[in-house]
Amino acid sequence: MSATGCTLGIIGAPGFEREAEILSALLAIPLGEADATLYVEATWWLQLRQGDETLKLSADFAHGQLDWRRKHSSGKAEPVVKAVWGRANTPPSVFDATGGLARDSFLLAASGCQVQAMEQHPLIAALIDKALQDAALSDDPALQSVLQHLHYGHGNSAEFLPLQSPGFVDVIYLDPMFPPRPSAAKVKKDMQVLQALTETGLGDELLPLARAKAGQKVIVKRPSYAPPLANSKPSAQLPAGLNRFDIYPTQR
């Protein structure tokens, strides 16, 4: 069972049973259907049961909207890239402490940053890691270059950061789970899955750790309606539609 109370499971499709067994042993997650189930087949996907509703989540870095943004966005035009790069002339190194679906990490890697991303939830991390492995089979040299700049894995950033030397990366990026919306409108289905599986309040713990370890600054992604993370006032903000990026200096 995850920290949010969801039971976890892994199911291997016909022909993928052994792969599912290995993953089950590696993650210490039982085989079989559960509240959140990772389906191991040609393309992995995650299913979440919430009452009478069933949500599905998959990831693809070689096709679809994310790949289109990689090909057609003009580099620093992406808000997350603007926030992380700032006025830098060379790509900063980045640690994404809340890796999630790795979308922002992917865009940062596409801008030239060396990105290390860490995701705490084992099923999300497994799903995204497999999608990145699948994308690495592409014969697109530009995509290959992006993936060489992105290293994604499973781990606990709150345990990892204290072990690092100050300045081990230029920028630490935080995108903690958003607080509830003030309206009754539901977020997108992929975000609903993340909300159901991700603990709230982790960002409050990570902010002081990040400020103590970043070489240049910490960037926090927040909804435009939300107060600053940990009620800590940022030194600057970059509006980005429904969201914003709060910028914090280092704090030794």
Binding-site sequence positions for S-adenosyl-L-methionine? 103-104, 175
Binding residues: 103-104, 175
**178: nearest Cα among 150, 202, 144:** 202
Task: Name beta bridge partners: 54.
Answer: 49
Residue pair 248/217 in contact (Cβ under 8 Å)? The answer is yes
Q: How far apart are CA 199 and CA 158, in angstroms?
A: 13
Q: How far apart are CA 244 and CA 224, in angstroms?
A: 6
Contacts of 10 (CB under 8 A, 6+ apart): 20, 23, 24, 27, 29, 30, 31, 32, 37, 38, 40, 123
